[in-house]
A and B are shown apart, each in its own frame.
Chain A
Amino acid sequence: MEFQLETADKQTVTLSEMTRGQKSLVVFLRHLG
């Protein structure tokens, strides 16, 4: 859950900080587009 991910404005976030404190559905997509 500490995986580093990139936002559209090239900021780095972790999955755990994005899901912290809220029930979350994380969907891994096959591809973009």
Chain B
Amino acid sequence: MRESAERIEEEGVSIIAVVPADGEQIRAFSNAFGSYPFPILGDPGRVAYQKMGHKRMSRWTLVPIAFRLLTGQIKLFKDDPKQNEVVKKAIRTQDTMQNGGAWLFSESGDLLWSHIDDQPQNHATIEEILKQIRA
């Protein structure tokens, strides 16, 4: 997402990321991974996640993910010990079954478009987001 931010902001759109974590975890993340070109806000109780209709995965969804982890197709842990600590804490303390989504709002706060992920890999693509921004 860091890589796509510039393309989105070139369209005159501000980006805000929301994570199911608290402010302290966000600060630790920024210290370990570097700052992001947009604000990261925490919803530790996942109130906004739930009220806005974001879904949780079924446990069966974890089976292919576990397979990809075991076969090395996904690398969970980082080489940097500081980054590793942040990732481990995220796994321990955050709801790993939570899915995300993307929401586009107008200047006046009206909802223009949204995409609710029904699986972890089913994110809105950058092309879809740009198409909706230009619509």
Contacts and interface: CB of A to CB of B under 8 A. Distances in A.
Residues of B contacting A: mostly = mixed
Query: Chain A contact residues: over half helix, strand or loop, or mixed?
Result: loop
Sorting the interface of chain A by its residue count into under 10, 10 to 19, 20 to 34 or 35 or more gives 20 to 34
Interface size class of B (residues with CB under 8 A): 35 or more
24 contacts: A1-B109, A5-B42, A6-B22, A13-B41, A15-B16, A18-B16, A19-B14, A22-B13, A23-B104, A23-B106, A23-B133, A25-B13, A25-B16, A25-B103, A25-B104, A25-B105, A26-B18, A26-B102, A26-B103, A28-B103, A29-B17, A30-B100, A31-B90, A32-B25
Interface of A: 1, 3-11, 13, 15-16, 18-33
